[in-house]
Every structure is written in C-alpha cells, then in structure tokens.
Amino acid sequence: MMLRTLKSNWLRLVVHIGAWIPFAVILWDALANQLGAEPIREIIFRTGKTALILLVLSLACTPANTLFGFRSALKVRRALGLYAFCYALGHAAVFIGVDYGFGLTLLQGAILERPYALVGAAAFLILLPLALTSTQGWMKRLGKRWTILHRWVYLAAVLVIVHFVWLVKLDVREPLTYGAVVVLLLALRVHGVHELVTRFRSKPSLPPGQKNDTPAAPAGAGFLFRQKCPDQHEEI
C-alpha cells in the first residue's frame, strides 16, 4: 500500500523535499559563517533566485502535460507556485526587515532610486493576491475572474526577469536564459500554438504505408479538452 502511494505521489515528494533544500543550505551556510563578506545580500540573492526557479517550474507544468503527456506535473503546479511565493516573501522580508531595518524613509528612497527594486516590488505585489487566492474556495468565489487574475503570473515572471537583469547589471546571461524559457512558455500559451501542439501530440502513430482515416480534430478541440481536464487551473 505504501509503495503504491509513493509510486503515485513520487513527484509531489520530490517537489516538497527539493523546495526545502535551498532553505536548508542557506541555514547551514549561515550557521557555518559561509555566506561571504555580505551575508545579508547573499541571502537576498539566493532566496530571490530560488523563487524565480520555482516560479518558472510552476509555469512549465501545463506545457509538460501538453507536450509530453506528463499529467503528474499538474498535481504539483500549485505547490511549486506557493513555494515560489514563500521564497519571494523571504526575499522581500530580508530586504525590508534586515537590510533596511523596516526604515520606511530609507526603503522608499531605495525603491525609487533603484529601478530593480521597484520592478521587484511590483512583481511581489502581483504574486501576493495570486498566493492568497490559490485555494479551491477562492476559485469558486471568483469564478471566471479567478482564471483572469491568475494569468497575471506571466507578467510577474517577466518583471522578475527584468528585476534580475537590472540587479546583476554586467553578466546577464543567466537571467536572460530564464527569460528565454519564460518567453517559450508564454508562446506555448498562445491559442494557435497550443492547438497545433495538442493536435500533433494526439495524432496516432501508424505503421508504414497505412493511411490515417481518423478525421482531424475541430478547431479549438485542444483548448476544450484542456478545460474539461481536472486540476488544469491557471495557478501560480
């Protein structure tokens, strides 16, 4: 029984364990005084980067199912999004509470004078309502507005990339790599691209020389199938 449960929920287990590892590493390095000359800035950087990685992984769950039929990815999308928000919250909390000591005047000046801080704050303010409304209860209360609201996660992802680029300034290869992945995931959400990929994936493979007499799926069939599948919500 236990083996069957582990087999069906192995990805959830991997996500939960994997999401806690960066926090454990930060804590270990802090206790061992291995965070470098500027430990606060190192913690801010690590939590922000982890938040970005988890956010991108959450956005990749639906395409993973669409392209490869990896349906298990849909079961961990919400967890990845919430873990991303938790690291973003830690990122903001250390920046505001530790680096600036909750000094509102200093914090206001830092945000207004540093564009990367302003963009990062905007991304966090977008992720906040998405995290708060990620439950089934809020989904029922908001109805169709819930889906519209949670599509803002893509804008948040773009803002986080811009925040990262402006923060590192010189070597922007890493943030631009994440940006390319986000652009690709956005492209896969375009109706025509999504429909094309869905048709290609659902097309049965035939032996050589045999013709496919199965009628083509009507336009929009991929989208309708997606909507009818359980656990296919636009979560962060």
pLDDT < 70 stretches in the chain: 1-7, 191-236
pLDDT tens digits along 44-101: 999 999 999 999 999 999 888 888 888 889 999 999 999 999 999 999 999 888 877 7
- Furthest CA-CA distance within the chain: 74
User: Contact, 51 vs 27, CB < 8 A?
Assistant: no
Amino acid making up residue 71: R
Taking alpha carbons only, the member of 226, 206, 224 closest to residue 214 is 206
Pair 74, 232: CB distance under 8 Å:
yes
* Tokens found for residue 207: 């032996």
Instruction: Give the DSSP letter of residue 174.
Output: H
Number of neighbouring beta carbons within 10 Å of residue 56: 19
Q: What is the pLDDT of residue 113?
A: 81
CA atoms within 13 A on the CB side of 218: 2
Q: What does the alpha-carbon distance between residue 6 and residue 4 come to, in Å, rounded to a whole number? A: 5
pLDDT, residue 182, reads 92
* Cβ partners under 8 Å of residue 216, min gap 6: 199
What's the CA dihedral at 110, 115, 120, 126 to 10 degrees?
A: 110
Residue 42 CA from chain centroid, whole number: 22
User: Quick one: DSSP state of residue 209?
Assistant: T
pLDDT given at position 231: 44
What pLDDT is recorded for position 15?
A: 95
